[in-house]
Amino acid sequence: MSATDRRPAVAAVGDNTIDEYTGHRGGSYVGGNALNVAVNCARLGAAAAYFGAVGPDPRGRRVAATLRRQGVSTGGLVVLDGVTSVSRIRVDEAGDRHFEHEDFGVCAAYAPDSDALRQLARFPVVHLGLLPSPGPVRARLAASGVLVSQDCAINAGYEHLDVAFCSAAAAAREPGELAREAVAGGARLAVVTCGADGSLAHDGRDWWRAAACAVRVEDTTGAGDSYIAAFLHARLTGAGIPEAMQAGAAHAARTCTHRGAWPQPPEPLGSSRLPA
């Protein structure tokens, strides 16, 4: 981010993927938890950066080009030997997405190096997506005074977290129990998304609840990532926890109304065409 950029700044670290939809409405989209959070933060007006890995292949070039087109800084994007992650998704009649296959490719081995960690320490907020060993990253960033959040549906551990984002459906757990576990494990705040039942938050003392927004559901892919991005953006711009939860719910609902984790034109399956 430039020294003159006064927008709230967020960095997201971890996974990206090409989401390939099966069925008669098949097509592919750029996605992945960390990437989705970065893109959604940028779309909400934040100065966003992405740190992660792609392979030296057409999918990787597509990921990089799409990030740049969405206004996300790619200074932390590295190219590693191997393949770019790809996920095969089926969406049922209710709009719920089901992963039929996932190949994490080079994302499975990516971890920010010492230089990337120094860059990340300059951001007020860093969100962690899928990482092979998130604990040391959390500890390093927390020691630098960074507000650290994490998608705990895909990463284990709560130590050194300012915000633990959890999914009741992914954990198959009672939301309140999941929130208490996260706080007991070291998180300052636990936010649990509960699909159509809304979300709840707990900081060890107080509880907050927010209703989900009613929409016609086309595809739930990326709804949780959209919630995370809007929550973090709202908090960065001065909102309280209830207001941030409402912002997250509204943004997640909008994501459910279209295919893909954020508005983007699909490409044919197997296409190596780069975005215009």
Confidence class for position 22, pLDDT limits 50, 70, 90: confident
CATH code at position 105: 3.40.1190.20
Query: How many domains, in total, are found in the chain?
Result: 1
Q: What is the mean pLDDT of residues 27-37?
A: 96
Range of the domain at 80: 9-255
Residue 4: the pLDDT is 53
Quick check: is 265 in a domain? no
Quick one: DSSP state of residue 109? Answer: G
Query: Which is higher by pLDDT, 64 or 4?
Result: 64
* Residue 270 is assigned to a structural domain of this protein: no
Confidence of residue 96 (pLDDT cuts 50, 70, 90): confident
Please return the burial class of 103, using the count of CB atoms within 10 Å of its CB with bins 0-12, 13-18 and 19+: middle
User: Has residue 263 got a pLDDT over 50?
Assistant: yes
Q: What is the mean pLDDT of residues 203-224?
A: 95
Which of 76, 87, 88, 96 has the alpha carbon at shortest distance from 14? 76
Q: What is the pLDDT of residues 48-90, one digit of tens each?
A: 999 999 999 999 999 999 999 999 999 999 999 999 999 998 8
3-state SS class at 27: strand
223-236 and 241-255 helices, crossing angle to 10°: 150
Q: Is residue 4 part of a domain?
A: no
Whole-number pLDDT of residue 224: 96
pLDDT digit string, tens, across residues 114-162:
999 999 999 999 999 999 999 999 999 999 999 999 999 999 999 999 9
Q: Is 260 contained in some domain? A: no
Specify if 39 maps to a domain: yes
Q: Is 89 domain-assigned?
A: yes
Residue 42 or 25, more confident: 42
pTM of the predicted structure, to 2 decimals:
0.93
Q: What is the pLDDT of residue 91?
A: 78
- Which has the closest alpha carbon to 141: 3, 11, 7, 8? 11
Confirm whether 267 is domain-assigned: no
Q: What share of the chain in percent tops pLDDT 90?
A: 84
263 inside domain: no
